[in-house]
Structure 1
Amino acid sequence: MIFGNSDVLGKFGQLFDPLIFGVVLGCVLVMAWIQNGKSSFGLAFAALPHCGREPFAESGENATFMCRRIDFMLREQGFVGLEQLHSEDPFITRMIGELVNAKDAKTFEEWARLQCNIAKKKQDLAASFWSAASEIAPAIGLIGTIIGLIQLFATGIDPLKMGPAMSLTLLTSLYGMFISHIIAFPIHMRLKARAEILNTYRAALAEHMIAVAKRELVKLTPVHFSPAKPLRAAH
């Protein structure tokens, strides 16, 4: 049997209620936000435009390549040449600029490790938000279904009219499963894979630049002068 466009739209209309879907989705996002902290919401949605792309798919950039470029520039042009290096990752470009202007190795090492830790937490937090959403969504859908069933039986509805009411109540479970398995979990997996690539790349570059700083930068220490002894008059 071939259905017309009106039949397809009618079937779809029975399965999609914008209000119920919005309520379920809103509850899922709020609970994921509460679970992961106030900064997680912005990070989770800011990461969405990049979740479908590998970080260095087009350029083929990798840690070994960048380490060799850094060593080559140091050998050929010294620290000044490092200013010409740019990475596909803005974080690494900023770290190279900090290395060029670093005063001593210890200060740079502390800064680099701190920034790597902050960047790693941001990457992991975005993936963790969507992981939490995928775990919470089925529970939110089930809670909505249970609440609907309680209200349904409490009102003493006519058994002949119970079918449509039951179908509307069960939509919350459907939306919970849809949000979990079709939306949140695939996003979580993509962001998790991307985070692993970026965190590994950044950690390798950071360790290499810390080694360069320890080798090339000399920590300046204060120079102590002993007072000159007064000259004795010749007799």
Structure 2
Amino acid sequence: MDLSTILGICAAFGLMLMAILQGGPLSIFINIPSIMIVFGGTAGNILVHYPFADVFDAINVAKKTFLYKETSASALIDQLMDFANKARKEGILALQASINTIEDPFLLKAVQMAVDGQEPETLRRMLMTEIDYIQVRHEKGGDIFNALALYAPAMGMVGTLIGLVQMLQTMDDPSTIGPAMAVALLTTFYGAVIANVVCTPMAGKLRNRSDSEILTKTLIAEGMQSILSGENPRIMEQKLHAFIAPKLRDSTFNK
């Protein structure tokens, strides 16, 4: 569970709710026509822009903003170094005994490929190809949330224009001006909230998640290639340390 995402959303909506309640009841910010225009229009635009499969995939990707277990790059380097030392002493087939202890699916796949006899460059190429397509899928999910952030304010503006037209058509009846203005203003409010409080931050979080995941998977690909190539573990460690900040670099040879 990602506490920063939950705390951020609760803070944003909580403070807005407190500000609303300071000025009047919450009910004045609830308007069914405005909700229909913004939420319905935005959903319709997304379905026009993207196929059903991509939209449903984006929903699954969105779960990563709340449910995500980040892999420690430092711990991953330590694990790869253990594999390198074992392979150097006992041969690459010795890694077969470690397969049941590997939790990361991508690392498990890489080790299995190494044990099965893949050439170092072939293994790296296959892993990097998979990484490329993972990145494409992540970018597509982020693009959908960026599109939502674009369409929601646009539909809010459409709702505002609808409300203004209705208001101008009934200027001779003061009792109709209030409801029309409510539609005009609340659609803009809903669109702004969807875009700036929900979709844009989620797109940013997904981008950060993707960057972190791509980094760890690239680290695995580089490490497994070095292990298969029989590279000196000290040189391999120095290469892998390039993936993390200097303050996180802790040599396994000093432990």
TM-align CA RMSD: 3.1
Q: Does 1:186 align with 2:201?
A: yes
Matched with 1:48 is 62
* Shift in CA distance, 157/110, structure 1 to aligned 2, threshold 3 Å: farther
Of the three residues 72, 77, 89, the one matched with 1:64 is 77
**For residue 211 of structure 2, what is the amino acid of its counterpart?**
E
Decide which of 159, 175, 192 is 2:174's aligned counterpart: 159
**TM-score (normalised: structure 1):** 0.72
Partner of 2:157: 142
* Cα pair distance change 1:158/1:144, threshold 3 Å: same
Structure 1: 5+ residue runs without aligned partners?
1-6, 217-235
- SS of 2:70's equivalent in the other structure is coil
Supply the distance in 1 between the matched residues of 2:169 and 2:117 (Cα, whole angstroms): 71
Q: Using the aligned pairs only, state the percent identity.
A: 22
> What residue in structure 2 maps to residue 12 of structure 1?
26
Q: Gapped runs of 5+ residues in structure 2?
A: 1-20, 232-255
Contact 1:24 1:141 in 2 (8 A): yes
The offset of 1:39, in angstroms, is 4.3
After TM superposition, give the deviation of residue 139 of structure 1 in Å: 1.5
Cα deviation code 1:116-145 (max 9, x no counterpart): 111111222222221222232211211221
Partner Cα distance (1:19, 1:160) in 2: 17
Residue matched to 1:115: 130
Question: Which of 1 and 2 has greater Rg?
Answer: 1
SS of the counterpart of 1:47? helix
Q: 1:32·1:130 contact (CA, 8 Å) conserved in 2?
A: no
- Matched to 2:65, the amino acid is C
Does the CA contact (< 8 Å) of 1:144 and 1:169 recur in 2?
A: yes
Query: TM-score, length-normalised on structure 2?
Result: 0.67
The worse-fitting range, judged by mean Cα deviation, of 129-138 and 97-106 is: 97-106
Question: 1:36–1:125: 8 Å Cα contact kept in structure 2?
Answer: no
CA distance in 2, matches of 1:14, 1:22: 16
Give the secondary structure class of the aligned counterpart of 2:25.
helix
Post-superposition CA distance 1:33-75 (Å, at most 9, x none): 5546654322321123321356426x67554234313313323
Aligned equivalent of 2:215, options 189, 200, 205 = 200
Contact 1:56 1:62 in 2 (8 A): no
Cα distance change on mapping 1:126 and 1:81 into 2, 3 Å: farther
Take 1:122 and 1:88, find their aligned partners in 2: how far apart are those partners? 22
Residue of structure 1 in register with 2:185 after alignment: 170
Distance 1:56 1:45, change over 3 A: same
Q: How many residues align?
A: 208
Give 1:107 deviation, angstroms: 3.9
Residues 197, 154 of structure 1: alpha-carbon distance in 2 compared, 3 angstrom cutoff: same
Q: Contact conserved, 2:153 with 2:192, CA < 8 A, in 1? A: yes
The separation in 2 between residues aligned to 1:95 and 1:167, in whole angstroms, is: 58
* CA shift in 2, pair 1:42/1:160, >3 Å: closer
More helix by share: 2
What's 1:224 paired with? Answer: none
